[in-house]
Structure 1
Amino acid sequence: MDEKKIAVIGAGIMGISALRRLSENKRFLLTCFERNYDLGGLWVYTDQTENDVYGRKINSAMYSNLQTNLPKQLMQLEGFPMDEKCPSFPTHTDVLAYIRKVADQCDIRKYIKFNTEVQLVTPVSENTQDTKWLVTYGDNRKKNDSQVEVFDAVIVCNGNCSIPNYPMIDNEKEFGGLVIHSIRYRRPELFAGLNVAVLGASHSGMDICHDVSKHAKKVYLCHRGSKLPTFLPANVTEKTSGFKRFTSSSIILDDNDIIQIDAVIYCTGFKYDFSFLPEGILEVGQNGVVCNLYKYILPRQYSTIFFMGLMRLYILFFPYGDHEASYIKAMLEGSVDIPAYKERIEVIDDDSKRPWLYNSHWEWDKELAGIAGNFEPFQSALKKIRDHVLEVKAKDFSKFRLDAFKITGSDSFEIL
């Protein structure tokens, strides 16, 4: 196999996973572009919420008290167990230290250009399957810095939690209190003694609601959906209704209920940013999910650009990234044939019709492992731990992080 120049965009956990696996093949000449000053992606915490000293937009959604909603056994890369002293549900500091440890043990910092923004990625030969790619990039600490380099392949790992998804609520500008998105949330003390409305009850909504409730006077957890079965703190009131419009001191809900508030936190998710890519290479369908990639990795019109972390997994995001990287490595090495255009279209169409439930992702990983042939699918013990966490979380959100786990076999675990 001839040498291949490969660009990796982003040095978060997906980029680190790609570099770790691809660096095992010395014929891959790797360059990773990272816009931040260090690796770690969204796990790089900062108290700043708007711009850094160079005027760059802050893109970290970390907050001071954040702990993972998965135990460490479900957040490890193969061959790199988290330290035994690390808590069962790590803090963001623990996770960042782990990512850095993996990077340093694999000696992959040498591939990373820090403070470097990718401005444009364009095919040398448009709509040619095996095209090379022009990558335009520059040092984002310098004005108008721009360079162009040709690569044989590109792996896009720029994440999906850096562009906040703001809802459009009528009369928001009339409201006299504080309105922020969860990406700007850092410390609950800011809301001491206030009446706070949290919009959204998914992972970040529930977590921030509990965090804020320790200092706020009253918290309204607002969401469109069925009443949650979990216990909530005494000063939290659940509202199964979304926002209709603001007044100067309140929010009117969809059901016309009026709540007097001092602050709003939007926990309404994030949007993708692929503005540096050719138009039409990606399509975002229902629920904000990219819907036109073979196995959520490979576009139909090109066989030399790959994507990682786009499947909306709520399980094992770290080890799944390792599996995606292993699969991409196999395709680049030629040990796995890249499906023809027609086959990719058929698979993309079939996958778009699949119902995605929590258990579907385990089957998905088995399918990917069967195609790649260079990694084993997740142990069933991991699914059992995940199921246990989900069960406890559904009953009492405040208690699901109290358990610690030990894997005792491929399909068994103990609660310590």
Structure 2
Amino acid sequence: MAKLNVAIVGAGLAGLCAAKYAKYSGHTVTVFEQCNEIGGTWIYRESIGVDEYGLNIHTSMYHNLRTNLPKEIMGFRDFPMPSSSSSYISSNEVLSYLISYAEHFKLNELIKFKHHVIQVRPFETTKWKISVKNLPTNNIETYVFDAVFVCNGHNCVPSQPHFEGLNEFQGHHMHSHNYRRAEAFKDKTVVIIGAGPSGIDLCNAISKCAKTVVFSHHTHNPNHVYPSNVVRKGSVQRFTKNGAVFADGSEIDITDIVFCTGYEFTMPFASDECGLLIDNNYVFPLYKHCINAIHPTMAVIGYVFHSAITHMIEIQVRFFMQYLNGNATLPPQEEMLADSTNQLKKRLALGWPKKNGHSIAGPLQREYFNDLSATANIENVREIFLKIFEDCGARRSADPVNYRLDVYKIIDVEHFERSSLVPHSN
């Protein structure tokens, strides 16, 4: 096996995983990290907007966040999360875990902190030239690599749909990316738009401080029980000077708007020569949702979603490493291009929008993991993790307010137990 010079963009969950596998495969590894610490989106910062170097603050982490997946399925294969009484842990505990992971596998020595990647482009057919700004010195540095892992995450550039009248609204509006503390909404009347994980979280958190929370989304479940000051509504049709008009014709006076409308997939450093196009959050062409079919010594790790994220990232990294290490051979480019096209067609046929082109929701997750495992002849994600993921997903859907009281215990490779914490009285 040839020893390669491998670049990794980002030192979050995906970047650390890629660094560990590339290092222990015997390659020379360099990780470029814009911040001064590891952790990516799991780093909590009170500040929003831009940092001291004028760069957008990456993290969307908010105060008192707890995971929406149990810790029992959030650890890597060979480095489990530490035990605790709760399954749904704080962001600080996740960050501490990642710090321990990096220390255990001696990854910090591979990381160039405060190095902002400006451009990644193909070079001399099989290599990559990467331009990086050393933020403290303001110097531009250039490196050449044999392979690149793109691990920049996709929860940092807000996606905010257009709404009629928003420019006329005289209250305060923000994206959940810039939300930090519920206390900012004390005694306010707040519209929250979107019912993804952050929308549900912020609805519950803000309702503890706000006068009223108007929860606007398309997926109302009549069995969900929310706090008494939460009003559930459908889509916002338009905003007015002091309120919101909903699809049912009703109008409610409001003071604040929080958009929980997701994020844009972006790779601003990827030159046109990389051959990757991003359209409505679908990255084309990625073979098996991760390998650049035009230049297959580049992998984009972690853009698949609706998944057991740690295990999805790890199997993608192991999948790509099989080819870098010479243990498997990629198919012809035409076949890889067809794979990317067919993956999107399959999701469109399910009635999903293009922005869900990298979703592996429901049975697609097992299918995807089975495919990567069989294609590259690597060990699959363990069944027990998928069983717990499916169980906690059903519990979260059934009871979005209280599901974090569940406690999971892995019994063996196929069985688990779920119990419940008793909430403390105030």
Which range is displaced more, 106-115 or 84-93? Answer: 84-93
Structure 1 residues 385 and 2, CA, compared in 2 at 3 Å: closer, same or farther? closer
What pairs with 1:236-275 in structure 2 (closer than 5 Å)? 236-241=230-235, 243-275=236-268
Verify the 8 A CA contact 1:9 1:15 in the aligned structure 2. yes
Structure 2: how far apart are the matches of 1:132 and 1:373? Answer: 26
Structure 1 residues 116 and 220, CA, compared in 2 at 3 Å: closer, same or farther? same
What is aligned with 1:277?
270
What pairs with 1:201-212 in structure 2 (closer than 5 Å)? 201-212=195-206
Matched, 1:305 2:298: yes
Verify the 8 A CA contact 1:289 1:310 in the aligned structure 2. no
What is aligned with 1:16?
16
What pairs with 1:147-296 in structure 2 (closer than 5 Å)? 147-227=141-221, 229-241=223-235, 243-279=236-272, 281-285=275-279, 288-296=281-289
Structure 2: how far apart are the matches of 1:166 and 1:254? Answer: 19
Structure 2: how far apart are the matches of 1:231 and 1:291? Answer: 40
Structure 1: how far apart are the matches of 2:240 and 2:165? Answer: 7
What is aligned with 1:30?
29
3-state SS, counterpart of residue 273 of structure 1: coil
Query: Normalising to structure 1: TM-score of the pair?
Result: 0.93
What is aligned with 2:374?
370
What is aligned with 2:365?
361
Aligned with 1:136 (options 131, 134, 150): 131
Shift of 1:409: 2.0
Shift of 1:291: 4.2
The percent of aligned pairs where both chains have the same amino acid is: 30
Structure 2: how far apart are the matches of 1:289 and 1:218? Answer: 36
Structure 2: how far apart are the matches of 1:270 and 1:79? Answer: 31
3-state SS, counterpart of residue 354 of structure 1: helix
Amino acid at match of 1:162: C
Verify the 8 A CA contact 2:195 2:217 in the aligned structure 1. yes
Structure 1 residues 86 and 330, CA, compared in 2 at 3 Å: closer, same or farther? farther
Structure 1 residues 105 and 368, CA, compared in 2 at 3 Å: closer, same or farther? same
What is aligned with 1:83?
82
The CA deviation string for residues 224-274 of structure 1, in whole angstroms up to 9 with x for no partner, is 345454211111111121x23222211122333211111110000000221
Verify the 8 A CA contact 1:11 1:33 in the aligned structure 2. yes
Structure 2: how far apart are the matches of 1:213 and 1:264? Answer: 13
Amino acid at match of 1:116: H
Structure 1 residues 228 and 75, CA, compared in 2 at 3 Å: closer, same or farther? farther
What pairs with 1:300-379 in structure 2 (closer than 5 Å)? 300-312=293-305, 314-355=306-347, 356-379=360-383
Shift of 1:168: 1.5
Structure 1 residues 213 and 226, CA, compared in 2 at 3 Å: closer, same or farther? closer
The CA deviation string for residues 275-307 of structure 1, in whole angstroms up to 9 with x for no partner, is 211227223345x23242100111221121111
Structure 2: how far apart are the matches of 1:73 and 1:412? Answer: 13
Verify the 8 A CA contact 1:230 1:393 in the aligned structure 2. no
Structure 2: how far apart are the matches of 1:81 and 1:296? Answer: 26
Shift of 1:151: 0.7
3-state SS, counterpart of residue 296 of structure 2: coil
What is aligned with 2:352?
none
Structure 1 residues 307 and 228, CA, compared in 2 at 3 Å: closer, same or farther? farther
Structure 2: how far apart are the matches of 1:358 and 1:142? Answer: 48
What is aligned with 1:4?
4
- Which runs of 5 or more residues in structure 1 are unaligned? none
Shift of 1:142: 4.1
Which range is displaced more, 92-101 or 82-91? Answer: 82-91
RMSD: 1.7
Which range is displaced more, 317-326 or 5-14? Answer: 317-326
Structure 2: how far apart are the matches of 1:59 and 1:257? Answer: 37
Verify the 8 A CA contact 1:289 1:311 in the aligned structure 2. no
Which range is displaced more, 40-49 or 382-391? Answer: 382-391
3-state SS, counterpart of residue 119 of structure 2: strand
Which range is displaced more, 107-116 or 163-172? Answer: 163-172
Structure 2: how far apart are the matches of 1:233 and 1:395? Answer: 15
Which range is displaced more, 77-86 or 397-406? Answer: 77-86
Verify the 8 A CA contact 1:291 1:352 in the aligned structure 2. no
- Which runs of 5 or more residues in structure 2 are unaligned? 348-359, 420-426
